[in-house]
Amino acid sequence: MLRIFFVWALVIHVLYCGPAISFELDKSECIAPAKPGGGHDIMCRLLAASVGESLLTDMSIRYMPGGIGALAFNHAISVRPKDASMVVAVSTGTALNLALRKFGKYTENDIRWLGAVGTDYGVIAVRNDAPWQSLSELIATLRQTPDSLLIGAAGSIGSQDWMKLALTLDKAGINPKTIRYISFEGGGEASNALLKGHIQVFPGDFTEIVSHFEAGRIRILAVFAEKRLPGKYSDVPTAREQGYDVVWPVWRGYCLPPQISNVQYHWWVNTLFRLEASGILPREREKLHLFPLMLIGDDFDRYVKENVRQLREVGQKFGLVP
């Protein structure tokens, strides 16, 4: 019933888009706030492919690592606040960084939230030759000697990758501040570090490691989803079924500069709806191993701000909110 409602709502939105919108997009740019290979890169590739096919216009991708998203966020607000040709990839990690006030003076109210168009899920991954066959075996090692392993992921202490592991360790009665954690500028860099043996455990996201998983180079000990992922990934157990009740879905989407006009903002909103209804966006999303989600415009704006509030409470649990 929910699926039927979603389809009808999407059809109604596409058929009635309000007044004619006079904004035209020539060339555009998607900013990925990390190094290549991570979730933000995936989202920019998703949008570039979809816009290129649907609108026959080029969208370039610009990688802007720095401050785990802060540099790109600040760039959109203070350097190009009126540039409607630019979108910035964002995720649950962005909301968490805002909740922990890691973006300096800027808050969730200083940007225009465009939409989330896919869901990812957190995972705990190790190399395929690692000794642990399950999350419980890894926890047993960390319980005995929490500083014996090098654990690395995107972002510093308090990032969403650190947080999903911290919540799991907390469930196991282990102080997450006792582990050895290395920060990387994006999941792509962290997953490469895992493959090269620079770290032994990667609490990352499914889309960041799925190609390595399919190639047999890594083992996923747990996925932070409510239930097992569908299809060929159904053999991967959830953290919950292994006794650690932690669920960490990752919404992935886009934001826009704060001073673009309402006409320009709604052009982007309508474009995302049309890309979804055309089937282009769902096809490209599936290629990149993302799961369906459509939260666009005002609905997304409200969702992000509530998400920031919820994540601030999680941060307070670990004493991370200044």
Q: Which residues of 76-94 are buried (b: 16+ CB within 10 A; e: fewer)?
A: bbeebbebbbbbbbbbbbb
Place 22 in a pLDDT band, splitting at 50, 70 and 90.
Answer: low
- Residue carrying structure tokens 């960084």: 97
Distance CA 92, CA 316 (A): 17
Query: For 129-180, what is each residue's pLDDT tens digit?
Result: 999 999 999 999 999 999 999 999 999 999 999 999 999 999 999 999 999 9
Q: Which residues share a beta bridge with 205?
A: 122
Query: Is the predicted pLDDT of residue 3 greater than 90, yes or no?
Result: no
% the chain with pLDDT above 70: 93
Of 128, 175, 182, residue with least CA distance to 152: 182
Enumerate domains of the chain plus CATH numbers: 2-11+18-120+250-317 (3.40.190.150), 124-242 (3.40.190.10)
Distance CA 224, CA 38 (A): 18
Query: Is the predicted pLDDT of residue 13 greater than 50, yes or no?
Result: no
| pLDDT of 68 | 84
The DSSP line for 265-302 is: HHHHHHHHHHHHHHTHHHHHHHHTT-B---EETHHHHH
- DSSP run (H or E) holding 221: strand 218-223
| pLDDT of 322 | 80
**102 exposed, middle or buried (CB, 10 Å; 0-12, 13-18, 19+)?**
buried
**SS3 for 189?**
helix
Residue 18 CA from chain centroid, whole number:
31
pTM comes to: 0.90
DSSP state of 228: P
- Residue carrying structure tokens 């949008």: 47
| pLDDT of 17 | 46
**203 vs 27, residue with greater confidence:** 203
Segment 22-33 shows an average pLDDT of: 86
**SS3 for 155?**
coil
249-256 and 86-91: which strand pairing? antiparallel
Max intra-chain CA distance, the chain: 64
Q: Are 111 and 258 in contact (CB under 8 A)?
A: yes
**20 exposed, middle or buried (CB, 10 Å; 0-12, 13-18, 19+)?**
exposed
Distance CA 136, CA 174 (A): 13
